[in-house]
Amino acid sequence: MTTIKAGVIGLGYIAPVHMAALRALGDVEVLAVAGARPGSARAKADQLGVPRAHDDWRDLVADPQVQVVHNCTPNFMHHAINLAAIRAGKHIVSEKPLALDAPQATELLRAVRKAGVVHAVCFKNRMLPLAREVRSRVARGDIGPVYLIHGTYLQDWLLHDTDYNWRVDPALGGVSRTVADIGSHWLDLAQFISGLQITQVCADLATFVPTRRKPSVHVEAFAHAEPGAGADTPVTVDTEDCGLVLFRFDNGARGACVLAQVCAGRKNRFVLELNGAGGSLAWDLERPNELWLGHRDRPNDTWTARAHDADDPDPFVDLFRPVYAAVRAGHMPADPTWPTFEAGYQSNVLVDAIVQSAREQRWVSSRPVE
């Protein structure tokens, strides 16, 4: 079997995750990496055992041997790199968000459709076995018509004013931070497992740490600058630390979520619950193999994936496997089993609507219009 050659653009914490998952597939070679700073790509390539290194991402996109581009860059670079890869005829796997806003995402969606390349956005939680289990149970009517969908996504890595990352800068991360960064995962999964679409939103966004101290050294996500590593500069921050959002779904169901990155002790608290006419389902991502089943007229119980021969999953491997099967086939399947640019576009539309709702203090339509 011919080895498929991939190139990874971006050298942050998520890039090695992509590389490890690609190598686990067995028929993919990570041929090249590209960075933003001179010399950074070569050092990373040597560290990770990658043959080619480019200081300019455009050189990687132009490399005739690179068949698939993985975009692992900061948000502000997503649109330009994704579009260049598509126009070069490369298959494209993009970290979320697909773009900074819905107009950019619309252009990308139209471009991949025209080019016919294979495309994916890394809403990886869709690929977890329990997410698929919940989706199947809802689809076959186990809990009846869905009434409510609610939950939280909480982290603490931006609690202190000394916590800083490029995501807090709207020029690099976009006008939304918490909602676009972690909330987009919750929103995507809520719609995926319920089979419903969020059609209206009403949101309240808050910035609790309005001034942060930006270190002179680069700090990756979830990391902190070491004391004495470099002088810091006070920076005014207006991207949200917290988002509270109400939803209306296309079947008449209602929903709510709390999204925040300043909750002490919460490292990655992702909880999602669905309440229907015939029962309830709840899932906590920190206990990924357990599904709580709620009943009205009998004791509640827990369904455990391990009891059903499920191994510990790697959602990136499970996402990339069908994507690369499509790459090998040379085209998108009729019904992709992974999140595509359509999902990325819908997420951008939804985040834009949430930001507008918070700004105008009213309900806003979040229906895709592409």
For 243-282, how does the pLDDT look when each residue is reduced to its tens digit (9 = 90+)? 999 999 999 999 999 999 999 999 999 999 999 999 999 9
Question: pLDDT digit string (tens) for 170-222?
Answer: 999 999 999 999 999 999 999 999 999 999 999 999 999 999 999 877 666 65
Segment 75-87 mean pLDDT: 97
For residue 309, the model assigns a pLDDT of 46
DSSP string, 11-46: -STHHHHHHHHHHHHSSEEEEEEE-SSTTHHHHHHH
| Ordered strands of the 301-304 beta sheet | 301-304, 290-294, 279-284, 269-276, 146-154, 254-260, 242-249, 198-206, 364-365
Domain 4-124+316-338 in this protein, CATH class: alpha beta
Q: What percent of the chain has pLDDT over 70?
A: 94
Residue type, 161: D
Return the SS3 of 189: helix
Output the pLDDT for position 306.
67
Q: Does the predicted TM-score (pTM) go above 0.85?
A: yes
The pLDDT confidence band at residue 230, using thresholds 50, 70 and 90, is low
CB 293: neighbour CB atoms within 10 A? 17
Is the backbone peptide bond immediately before 97 cis, with ω within 30 degrees of 0?
yes
Cα angle value 226/229/232 (rounded, 5°)? 100
What average pLDDT does the segment 78-105 reach? 97
Identify the sign of the CA torsion 19, 20, 22, 23. positive
CATH superfamily of 129-312: Dihydrodipicolinate Reductase; domain 2 (3.30.360.10)
Query: What CA–CA distance (Å, rounded) separates 334 from 319?
Result: 17
Find out whether 118 and 323 touch, Cβ atoms under 8 Å. Answer: yes
pLDDT at residue 31 tops 70:
yes
**DSSP-based three-state secondary structure for 325:** helix
What does the domain layout of the chain look like in residue ranges? 4-124+316-338, 129-312
pLDDT tier at 241 (50, 70, 90 boundaries)? very high
Confidence band (pLDDT; 50, 70, 90) for 15? very high
